[in-house]
Amino acid sequence: MISFISRSVSIAVAASLATAPAIATAQEVMHQGPKLPDSATLPKFIEQEAIASVEAETGEIAGIRIGNSAYFIAYIKAATNCGSGGCRAQIWKRDGDQYVRQQSLPVGYLPITMLPDIDHGMPRLGVSVYDKNSNQMMVLPVAFDGQNYALSDWDQLLSERSGEVVLTSEMLKEF
């Protein structure tokens, strides 16, 4: 009788393990859940407000949702938003049915990458910057501090090929 019960339990455990979902990595978790219709499309409100905030008649904009979070990046390339160090990217957060502008990312260039590190449940971002010391493009890590993406240590620059590219110049569209 014990042998029969033991064999039945073993079969049940084996069956449940065979049908159990695999454990997801942190990167996969950030990409699960409902997706926007087009990952390269910002919600219309963010796009309109981001364009209005730079007070430029013409320019280019691209944006994405950061993983499956309530946060978005809007990169605006316009004469009033860019300088010798590149352009600022805005961070927006969905709060209920509203979108709230957060602190901007440091001045930089495209592409923007998603680094493998996770800070307070959010992926660390990488902003492309020009490093005068090495005379080349590098990636500046930008960590999530629990409330927002905060400026990082400029002494911690990474290789230009660091992270997964999530926002590129090919994604820019004119306004």
Q: Is the dihedral of CA 28, 30, 31, 32 positive or negative?
A: positive
The per-residue pLDDT for range 18-43, each reduced to its tens digit, is 333 333 333 433 433 334 334 457 99
β-bridge partners, 139: 128, 158
The per-residue pLDDT for range 123-170, each reduced to its tens digit, is 999 999 999 889 999 999 999 999 999 877 788 899 999 999 999 999
- Please count the helices (runs of H) and the strands (runs of E) in the chain: 3, 11
**What pLDDT is recorded for position 107?**
78
- What is the residue extent of each domain of the chain? 43-174
Q: What is the dihedral of CA 73, 132, 153, 109, to 10 degrees?
A: 0
| pTM, two decimal places | 0.75
**What pLDDT is recorded for position 40?**
54
**What pLDDT is recorded for position 80?**
93
Report the percentage of the chain scoring pLDDT > 90: 63
